[in-house]
Amino acid sequence: MRVINAKNADEAVKLAAETFIEAADARPDAPIGLATGGTMDGIYLKLKELGFRPKTQHAFALDEYEGLEPGSENSYAAELTDKFVERLGWTGTLHVPGTGHYSGETGLELLEQRLTELGPISVQLLGLGSNGHIAFNEPGSEFASTTRLVELHPATRSDNARFFPSLEDVPTHAYTQGLATISRSSCLLLVVLGERKRPALSQALTAPSPQTPLAALLDHENLTLITDQVL
Ligand code: F6R
């Protein structure tokens, strides 16, 4: 693992965007992997500022909430359409687990199949939950897991309540790429910002266990961690 200690969040976001562009442009025919959430907001803005024009025709989202109204502004599909697809004027295909062709059990298998056919992903953006989740692989997730429907941990629902009108509106379940699925990407770019994430990050690095999903990725041959936290 390559660790980049940024002096603050702004520097971390800039380094993350530059690293993402370099890795994506190095393999222009390969799909890219996108994440959502607060950490990614700044990175997607920076991609625009740096004039990034994705050359790939395919992007895969890591995860999606289950049970939202179609077109809900809280869906990750809507968020990525707004903050990545439309902002960058990109005309490729966004593949989102649990939606459209990728609905239901067979849809999730189809997503795995499409990833195998089109992949590997050149560069996968990753954030870390304050409880240590990776995508929506909550603590205790199988390291060999693939794309599936999962129940969200109460800590995840409570963290993400800030994006919804109330905690009750946060879905209880979500679709997520599995840890084994994610580990197939050529390059993993994990961005961890803020004091709030430090305990989960430090636990995964110093005491990796089935309770720290990041542990499944620590042996990846091309994992870069960019953080504003001193480890
Ligand atoms: C979402 C995802 C999640 C987030 C994590 C951190 O696609 O993959 O694992 O990266 O919940 O979210 P923020 O950045 O909002 O703290």
CA distance 56 to 180: 23
Per the structure, the count of domains in the chain is 1
Across the range 70-80, mean pLDDT stands at 94
Let me know if residue 208 belongs to a domain.
no
Let me know if residue 162 belongs to a domain.
yes
Residues with CB under 6 A from ligand 1: 35-39, 62-63, 76, 127, 129, 133-135
Let me know if residue 171 belongs to a domain.
yes
Res 71: pLDDT:
85
> Is 131 labeled as catalytic in the residue annotation?
yes
Atom of ligand 1 nearest to the CA of 134: 9
Let me know if residue 114 belongs to a domain.
yes
Q: What is the DSSP letter of 97?
A: T
pTM for this structure? 0.98
Judged against a pLDDT cut of 90, whether residue 173 lies above it is answered with yes
User: What CATH code is carried by the domain that includes residue 45?
Assistant: 3.40.50.1360
> Is 41 labeled as catalytic in the residue annotation?
no
Ligand 1 mean position, distance from CA 137 (Å): 11
To 5 degrees, how large is the angle CA 145–CA 181–CA 22? 150
Residues paired with 151 in a beta bridge: 173
To 5 degrees, how large is the angle CA 198–CA 202–CA 205? 145
The residue segments making up the domain with residue 34 are 2-195+216-221
Of the pLDDT bands very low, low, confident and very high (cuts 50, 70, 90), residue 187 is: very high
Let me know if residue 210 belongs to a domain.
no
Mean per-residue pLDDT over the chain, rounded: 97
Let me know if residue 227 belongs to a domain.
no
Atom of ligand 1 nearest to the CA of 41: 14
Let me know if residue 207 belongs to a domain.
no
Res 70: pLDDT:
81
Let me know if residue 62 belongs to a domain.
yes
CA distances from 181 to 111, 113, 116, 160, 164 (A): 10, 11, 9, 24, 28
